[in-house]
């Protein structure tokens, strides 16, 4: 289980003496780590941002009640946990297409209809939650703990089990600290951890990517060139034989480099010919913002591509489509909503 050392709050650490009322500047240093925590809890970059904003608002409103008997960090995590648990009661479990149906043939007649955004695990910009460090171990731990497969697996857990597992095994809190935060006993926390581990043990949470290395920069450059030139054979040559491609909000997904190549020359997918890509980073992975040709001129947002790399080839292509003029995902990455020709 990943150990995100940077995000290792401790009730035993030196207590902070914060004078009430709290100012926004007292809270802002915790935004990144809280975003990472809320994202793992909720499986949605949008909801994580909302949860952190609500956490900050509650903390600011009730700052007079913070007496410094615990650290400000642990107090904020208590609020964030309650916010996420409340939000979890209102929505169903988010998933990835690979959990919803078997792979489809590479024929657009199998595409099906658009499904609601609330069904899907959605990406998180690394700039919102990644540790501000150059330590390779901490960066690797972060990547492992926000990869799409692991976050999707977490969604199988009840909210309090999820909180206990993330706090204890991802963020490395002690069971006693988690018990204090969740207003429960150490025995209850340990029981929740045992049940959570059993549930995850029955789910394939293995990552589809390894640690990035210098050669991956060349692979990504070749991918970008092949995609923009719509060189399907060249792109397929960069994929693992059993690579997968998913396309939320469609449930359809593809397995196998050959099938992905056949899919790309179908009439609807081939409309991506002439796209422009901008590099991004999400969920600890490299990726691209894809812009398709705008009939009125220039290029308009089409998809956030999150790529997973293993052994020098691309093993997974996760395309989160911005359809029906919904540009929220591009806006969350701070991306332009139009590119000039």
Give the domain ranges of the chain: 5-201, 214-332
User: Residue 28 carries which DSSP code?
Assistant: G
Q: Give the separation between CA 203 and CA 212, rounded to whole angstroms.
A: 25
CA distances in angstroms from 144 to 82, 170, 292, 330, listed in the order given: 25, 10, 31, 24
Cβ 286 vs Cβ 279: under 8 Å:
yes
Give the pLDDT of residue 68: 59
The tens digit of pLDDT for each residue in 72-109 reads 899 999 999 999 999 877 667 899 999 999 999 999 99
- Give me the CATH topology for the region 214-332: Nuclear Transport Factor 2; Chain: A, (3.10.450)
Residue of 57, 152, 63 whose CA lies nearest to 100: 152
Exposure pattern of 161-190 as b/e (b: 16+ CB <10 Å)? bbbbbbbbbbbbbebebbbbbbeeeeebbe
Residue 76 three-state SS = helix
State the virtual CA torsion across 325, 54, 289, 120 in degrees, nearest 10.
Answer: -70
Give the pLDDT of residue 114: 94
The tens digit of pLDDT for each residue in 127-160 reads 999 988 888 888 988 999 999 999 999 999 999 9
Structure-token pair, residue 60: 């600011």
The tens digit of pLDDT for each residue in 19-45 reads 456 777 788 999 999 999 999 999 999
Determine how β-strand 276-282 pairs with β-strand 285-293. antiparallel
Rounded to 5 degrees, φ, ψ at 276 are -115, 140
- The pTM of the full predicted model, rounded to 2 decimals, is 0.89
Cβ 106 vs Cβ 244: under 8 Å:
no
Residue of 230, 228, 260 whose CA lies nearest to 247: 260
Q: Which residues of the chain have pLDDT under 50?
A: 1-19
Cβ 43 vs Cβ 151: under 8 Å:
yes
Q: Give the separation between CA 305 and CA 327, rounded to whole angstroms.
A: 14
């Amino acid at each position: 289980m990943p150990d995100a050392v940077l995000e290792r709050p401790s009730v035993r650490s030196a207590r902070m003496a914060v004078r009430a009322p709290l100012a926004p500047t007292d809270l802002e240093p915790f935004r990144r780590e809280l975003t990472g925590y809320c994202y793992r809890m909720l499986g949605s970059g949008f909801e994580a941002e909302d949860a952190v904003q609500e956490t900050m608002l509650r903390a600011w409103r009730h700052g007079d009640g913070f007496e410094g008997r615990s650290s400000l960090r642990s107090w904020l995590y208590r609020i964030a946990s309650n916010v996420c648990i409340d939000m979890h009661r209102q929505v169903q479990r988010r998933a990835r297409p690979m959990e919803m149906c078997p792979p489809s043939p590479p024929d657009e007649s199998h595409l099906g209809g658009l499904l609601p955004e609330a069904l899907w695990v959605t990406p998180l910009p690394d700039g919102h939650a990644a540790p501000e460090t150059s330590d390779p171990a901490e960066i690797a731990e972060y990547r492992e703990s926000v990869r799409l497969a692991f976050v999707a697996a977490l969604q199988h857990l009840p909210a309090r089990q999820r909180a206990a597992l993330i706090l204890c095994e991802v963020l490395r809190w002690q069971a006693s600290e988690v018990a204090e935060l969740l207003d429960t006993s150490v025995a209850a926390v340990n029981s929740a951890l045992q049940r959570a581990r059993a549930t995850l043990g029955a789910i394939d949470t293995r990552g589809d990517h390894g640690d990035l290395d210098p050669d991956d920069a060349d692979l990504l450059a070749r991918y970008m060139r092949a995609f923009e030139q719509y060189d399907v054979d060249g792109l397929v040559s960069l994929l693992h034989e059993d690579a997968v491609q998913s396309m939320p909000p469609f449930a359809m997904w593809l397995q196998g480099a050959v099938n992905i190549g056949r899919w790309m020359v179908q009439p609807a997918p081939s409309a991506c010919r002439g796209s422009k890509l901008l590099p991004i980073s999400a969920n600890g992975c490299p990726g691209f913002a894809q812009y398709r040709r705008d009939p009125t001129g220039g290029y308009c947002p089409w998809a956030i591509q999150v790529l997973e790399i293993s052994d020098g080839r691309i093993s997974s292509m996760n395309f989160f489509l911005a359809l029906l003029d919904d540009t929220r995902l591009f806006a969350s990455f701070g991306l332009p909503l139009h590119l000039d020709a």
